[in-house]
Structure 1
Amino acid sequence: MTQTATTKTAPGPKGLPVIGNVMQLGGADILTRYIELWKEYGDIFYLKLGPLDSFVLANPEHVHHVLVKNQTNYIKGIGYDGFRLLVGQGLVTSDGELWRQQRRLMQPPFTPKAITQFTQMMVDVTAQMLDRWQAYAQRSETVTMDAEMMRLTMSIIGRAMFSIDLGEELTEVGDALHRAFGFIPERAQGGIALPLSVPTPKHRRFKQDLEIIDGFIQRRIEEGRRNPNQDNLLSILLQSRDEETGQGMSEEQLRDEVVTLFFAGFETTARSLTWALYLIAHHPEVADKLEAESDAVLQGRAPVVDDLFNLTYTRMVVDEVLRLYPPTALLARQNVADDVIGGYPVPAKSMIVLIPFLIHRYPSVWPDAERFDPERFRPEAVDARPRNAYIPFASGPRVCLGNNFALMEMTLALSMIAARYRLSQAPLETIPHEFAGTIRPTKALRMKIEAR
């Protein structure tokens, strides 16, 4: 797409002095608010967020320009300052040479081939959960699936990273990460964010959570150094060396990357699995197809890695869930130099806001976009779509490192659940979403488990 400079400015709502449009974006339903603004102002619109010039993009071609075509002009920048309070200069938040070095160090264990080493562990942990569900099914009890999926994904990432089941300690650090991550967008939506040194109750709680997280990570790193030859991700990171410099990670870098991987490894996948079970419960025809595929492919046994190639409908379900409730619901970039997007000038140091939740509902690409329809991901339909119309894990050089891990984990879990149980929501009702770093249900998802 050719970009031609003009003198026109991008449209957008009128803001208030000093704070601009900040107050118009407040609240947990900020993603729906962005959709409303897009409907009013179009594919690119301007917001003044305090001192920042911000441009929100919805058109997949504009997204491709930022994430791929002209990606060298776009850094993570100021849009990730809040997240840096939690994960420091990890792979998600760093830029420039630091990011390139960290990516070289982190990439090897996350290639599609490398992650297959975790297949059996994922299957074993999921099977333990399903065995535990047998008692619930016999007693016709309702179960809180949010908690079940969080427990599952925390157990999987705990074993993948540290080779241990962390039990109660895992629950404590998981709760701390959950609260801390939710605090970050809440703080950003409140207007001009106060320094953390101001002793508000929320700031004190955030600092307490950071102490829990850092203590947990430090104990794991110390244990990893005492036992360096374990077959887990932490051991790989401890031993990794940059092929260009021969250097390993500093203590600070190691901490930041472990926090990033650990959080991303359970929170986002747990949310995605929860939404998957919710959507499947509302579409029994999808449940029927999932069960039929699991029966045909697995034939009553536990899955192995080669089965992933044959669980095609299950993967289509996963992809459609991630379209409606993307794990990366909001992306931000900052342009180094002036640019032109969609005919509008974008001054240097502007914040570019990309919202997969909106992009995945772009009507010319996704007809009847709110409808849950896994058939959208038939190979021929995927091939016909424009570039970057589907970006649940971002795109380009900064695509999420753990996307293959998450996709494998979700596909295995859904196939194994479908093979043994039919889940129904109790009661069957619509649950709205809210945005708190990830897209979360506004109330617990209660489900009944029926053995097949």
Structure 2
Amino acid sequence: MQNPSPATPRERTPARVPLHNVPLGILASAKAGQRNVLELIPEIATRQPMLSGRTGKRWHMVMEPGALKRVLRDRVEDYPKSTVTKLILEQAIGDSLFVAEGAEWLWQRRTAAPVFSHRNVAALAPVMTAAAERSSARVTASNGRAADIFAEMVAATFEVISDVTFSGGEGFDRNAVHRAIEDYIAQAAKVSVLDLIGVPGWVPRPGRMMAGAAMREMRRIADTAIEGRKTAPRHEVPDLLDLLLAGEDPKTGRTMTTSELRDNLLTFIVAGHETTALTLSWALYLCAFDKDVQDGARAEAQAVLGTRAAVAEDVAKLPLIRRIIDEALRLYPPAAFLSRTAMAADTLCGREIRAGDTVILPIYALHRHHMLWDNPDQFDPSRFEEPNAIARFAYLPFGDGPRVCIGANFALQEAVIILATLLARHRFTPVAGKEPKPVMILTLRPQGGVWLNIETL
């Protein structure tokens, strides 16, 4: 009998979360939430428009694009971020743009939106190009052996976000802030059983109490840097802090206080480097998984770049690189599990929603839904060749509606610049027995890192 030939990448599927097939009680849900939030999603969620149940509180998982449009855009005021989300995030980023609701959110959004204009994002591209060069040099140092690409991408994107947030670094201890963020995610960002059964937020959660000192120190460092910048000369190319200091709400003229500036800058730092690092790590893992896609992307990057690093003007000339990023965001969306609290009675998919119900938006299940995507667990960047053919609310790596991610263009530009630079200069192949495990705590991370063999060309 002949041995079966090995499966090709098109027949195999890259790493995925094992979704459960039996109902989970409160204790099992708490354990799953501590281990991997995505294990709270049942497999049937990838085949049904909506699921409902009760685990201490009534909950609904919504995967139907029309219902998601209603939650995220049409009736966004009736579906604010859930209490659990706020409990997890407020300790780190206060009442910032990401957490605030209603009028408090609206004036901050109006003030911050011009900061991320196309012009300002393009002006910050040289920082991304310089980070791509340094990252490529560090990858070259690992030529001929395996390296954890996730650790490298975290380093590269943290360089970018700290340079474009506090350029020059006056009074800003980057290492201390980075350590505080890592400690916070490890200790405080997990779902507690107290969250699941609806215990009020004023009841202490042990993990979040342990992270409190690091968070206070991080805020102190940021406050000191902001106060110092207020009297310092402006940079020739304004960074995010310069732009926010100069910003004001066009309707009210209100400007941000030091604490408001700090909370929003820390939001940009936490979200801005973590999510892009994850996108790049998963994209490189997928390129190593599928040699043909990687070879095509390398040819594209080399044809555009030659031997130099990518710059802002190259982004539009690298469509395959962009499609790889889009597909990585589909398979491994950093914000893979969102939740909202219904504030008013409603109907979704013909089902009753009561005030106080938890409405879960499992983006991981949405992006792998069998009614919305062909071969949803397979890596196939070609599905983004005609982006207009994809239902708008079937693909939500950055959310949608008025609260769509304010830094989406910034993140995509950075990801294309770094990925193109690395693929043009290096070849990545899998390390046997080292497949990453997708685990979501605050974001969808590769547990154990993304270990790849590196060959510098």
Matched AA of 2:151: A
Q: Tell me the alpha carbon deviations over residues 195-214 of structure 1, each in whole angstroms, 9 at most, x when there is no partner.
A: 788594x3453112212311
**TM-score normalised by the chain length of structure 1:** 0.88
Between the two proteins, what is the percent identity of the paired residues? 29
Q: Establish whether residue 188 from structure 1 lines up as the match of residue 192 from structure 2.
A: yes
Aligned counterpart, 1:370 = 377
Q: For the structure 1 residues 74 and 135, does the alpha-carbon distance in structure 2 shift closer, same or farther, using more than 3 Å as the test?
A: closer
Matches within 5 A, 1:125-204: 125-137=131-143, 140-164=144-168, 169-189=173-193, 191=196, 200=206, 202-204=207-209
Q: 2:418 aligns with which of 394, 413, 416?
A: 413
Q: For the structure 1 residues 33 and 350, does the alpha-carbon distance in structure 2 shift closer, same or farther, using more than 3 Å as the test?
A: closer
Aligned partners of 1:158 and 1:166 also within 8 Å: no
Matches within 5 A, 1:417-428: 417-427=422-432
Q: 1:333 aligns with which of 340, 348, 355?
A: 340
Query: How far, CA to CA, are the matches of 1:23 and 1:325 in structure 2?
Result: 23
Query: How far, CA to CA, are the matches of 1:239 and 1:188 in structure 2?
Result: 40
Query: How far, CA to CA, are the matches of 1:35 and 1:114 in structure 2?
Result: 42
Q: For the structure 1 residues 199 and 265, does the alpha-carbon distance in structure 2 shift closer, same or farther, using more than 3 Å as the test?
A: closer
Q: For the structure 1 residues 165 and 217, does the alpha-carbon distance in structure 2 shift closer, same or farther, using more than 3 Å as the test?
A: closer
Q: For the structure 1 residues 428 and 417, does the alpha-carbon distance in structure 2 shift closer, same or farther, using more than 3 Å as the test?
A: farther
- 331-340 vs 367-376, greater mean Cα deviation: 331-340
Query: How far, CA to CA, are the matches of 1:263 and 1:30 in structure 2?
Result: 19
Aligned counterpart, 1:8 = none
Aligned partners of 1:14 and 1:21 also within 8 Å: no
Query: How far, CA to CA, are the matches of 1:372 and 1:84 in structure 2?
Result: 35
Aligned counterpart, 1:122 = 128
For the residue of structure 2 that corresponds to 1:103, the secondary structure is: helix
Aligned counterpart, 2:96 = 90
Query: How far, CA to CA, are the matches of 1:209 and 1:37 in structure 2?
Result: 40
Query: How far, CA to CA, are the matches of 1:364 and 1:197 in structure 2?
Result: 41
- 410-419 vs 348-357, greater mean Cα deviation: 348-357
Aligned partners of 1:431 and 1:441 also within 8 Å: yes
For the residue of structure 1 that corresponds to 2:360, the secondary structure is: strand
Q: What residue ranges of structure 2 are gaps of 5+ in the alignment?
A: 1-20
Q: For the structure 1 residues 78 and 284, does the alpha-carbon distance in structure 2 shift closer, same or farther, using more than 3 Å as the test?
A: same
Q: 1:319 aligns with which of 326, 329, 332?
A: 326
Query: How far, CA to CA, are the matches of 2:218 and 2:292 in structure 1?
Result: 42
Q: For the structure 1 residues 304 and 24, does the alpha-carbon distance in structure 2 shift closer, same or farther, using more than 3 Å as the test?
A: closer
Q: Establish whether residue 66 from structure 1 lines up as the match of residue 71 from structure 2.
A: yes
Q: Tell me the alpha carbon deviations over residues 359-403 of structure 1, each in whole angstroms, 9 at most, x when there is no partner.
A: 101112212111111001002xx2222231000010011000111
Q: 1:348 aligns with which of 352, 355, 372?
A: 355
Query: How far, CA to CA, are the matches of 1:92 and 1:142 in structure 2?
Result: 37
Superposed CA RMSD in Å reads: 2.6
Query: How far, CA to CA, are the matches of 1:436 and 1:399 in structure 2?
Result: 21
Matched AA of 1:224: R
Aligned counterpart, 2:224 = 219
Aligned counterpart, 2:245 = 238
Aligned counterpart, 2:105 = 99
Q: What residue ranges of structure 1 are gaps of 5+ in the alignment?
A: 1-11
Query: How far, CA to CA, are the matches of 2:226 and 2:291 in structure 1?
Result: 45
Q: Establish whether residue 445 from structure 1 lines up as the match of residue 450 from structure 2.
A: yes
How far did residue 46 of structure 1 move? 1.9
- 359-368 vs 424-433, greater mean Cα deviation: 424-433
Query: How far, CA to CA, are the matches of 2:412 and 2:114 in structure 1?
Result: 17
Q: Establish whether residue 258 from structure 1 lines up as the match of residue 265 from structure 2.
A: yes
Count of residue correspondences: 432
For the residue of structure 2 that corresponds to 1:48, the secondary structure is: strand
How far did residue 441 of structure 1 move? 1.3
For the residue of structure 2 that corresponds to 1:329, the secondary structure is: coil
Query: How far, CA to CA, are the matches of 1:15 and 1:282 in structure 2?
Result: 33
Q: Establish whether residue 47 from structure 1 lines up as the match of residue 53 from structure 2.
A: yes
Q: Tell me the alpha carbon deviations over residues 407-429 of structure 1, each in whole angstroms, 9 at most, x when there is no partner.
A: 01111111000111112233364
Q: Tell me the alpha carbon deviations over residues 243-266 of structure 1, each in whole angstroms, 9 at most, x when there is no partner.
A: 111121123212211111110111
Aligned counterpart, 2:274 = 267
Query: How far, CA to CA, are the matches of 2:398 and 2:123 in structure 1?
Result: 22
Aligned partners of 1:60 and 1:388 also within 8 Å: yes
